[in-house]
């Protein structure tokens, strides 16, 4: 299993826990909602980090796509760039 896949599972698990907490807190309407504010702030941070990662991935993919000027696998500059260290 790849690290990216494990990371996605962890993020999904956090999402499920957040939903459970939001449902649970409704049983105590007089409690402070400070942890809800914190949970939302943490979610915003995670989204902003994911957006940065996606922007970097987009740049990398755009660079790879624009480098392709050959029509054979043997001369494929995309494959050559992916194989280089």
DSSP the chain: --HHHHHHHHHHHHHHHHHHHHHHHTT-TTS--HHHHHHHHHHHHHHHHHHHHHHHHHHHHHHHHHH---SSSTT-HHHHHHH--
pTM of this structure? 0.61
25-64, pLDDT tens digit by residue? Answer: 888 889 888 988 998 898 889 889 888 988 998 998 888 8
Average pLDDT of the chain is 81
């Amino acid at each position: 299993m790849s690290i990216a896949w494990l990371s996605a599972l962890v993020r999904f698990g956090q999402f499920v826990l957040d939903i459970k907490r939001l449902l649970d807190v409704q049983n105590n309407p007089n409690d402070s909602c400070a942890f809800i504010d914190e949970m939302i702030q943490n979610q915003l941070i995670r989204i902003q980090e994911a957006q940065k990662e996606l922007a970097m991935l987009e740049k990398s993919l755009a660079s790879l796509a624009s480098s392709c000027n050959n029509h054979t696998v043997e001369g494929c500059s995309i494959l050559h760039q992916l194989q280089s260290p």
